[in-house]
A = this chain, B = another copy of it.
Amino acid sequence: MTLTLHAYWRSSASYRVRIALNLKGLPYAVVPVNLVREGGEHRRDDYLARNPQGLVPTLEVDGVPLTQSLAILEWLEEEHPLPPLLPRDPISRARARSFALAIACEVSPLSNLMVREYLDRVLKLDAAAQQAWHAYWIGRGLAACEAMIAGDNGPFCFGEAPTIADCVLVPQLYNARRFGIDLAGFPALLRAEAAMLALPAVQRAAPEAQPDAA
């Protein structure tokens, strides 16, 4: 099975999939998709044929394109179950998925490149208003995520091993720092992040470790 990941180094969703692929020890080729050069390679017809949303990442499996990072993570879990990225019992699986979705649905979509362009070019918000927008949604989302795992012992979000929750958390905290968000109020999230960043598989997934890092 040949895996080809179409990704952008600094995209949170691309980073999630790299972490999962690396944790499962799967080899894959990377095709960089430059979102910012000349209007964006993600808007070209050949890319849209693979990914009609024009988003990264796309994982091609023997040439068949899979889109949406969380759908890709579920596919990986079904086809390459070891090591697992979901807990064993159904309630714990639901909690890990809920944490991942809380970031993927209520945090990331409000600060992604498309939204930043709209705030800037259509609403013409000044820099302070744009920063306030990002700080509001990221802060609110991370506070909920902190509450979701504050009662757990760690070291990862949900116990002794990484799950999809951790795969989504690490890129979100990376993104939060880009926006200058103070993370001191989220000790459980920082604990899980530290456990993840200690793993070589996660280190190799870092944006700065990618071939297209600028």
A contact set with B: CB distance below 8 Å: 48, 52-55, 61, 64, 66-68, 70-72, 74-75, 78-79, 90-91, 93-95, 97-98, 101-102, 104-106, 108-110, 115, 118, 122-123, 125, 129, 132-133, 136, 141, 143-145, 147-148
Contacts and interface: CB of A to CB of B under 8 A. Distances in A.
A106 to B, nearest CB: 6
B94 A74 contact: yes
A90 B104 contact: no
Nearest to A70: B101
Given A75-B90, A90-B78, A52 B147 contact: yes
A14 B204 CA distance: 39
A94 B72 contact: yes
Contact of A97 (B61, B70, B79, B125): B70
Q: How many copies does the complex hold?
A: 2
Q: Is the interface of A mostly helix, strand, loop or mixed?
A: helix
B91 A64 contact: yes
Nearest to A67: B98
Given A98-B71, A123-B125, A108 B110 contact: no
Nearest to A108: B105
A100 B77 CA distance: 18
Given A68-B98, A101-B104, 6 more contacts: A53-B106, A67-B102, A68-B101, A78-B90, A104-B105, A110-B110
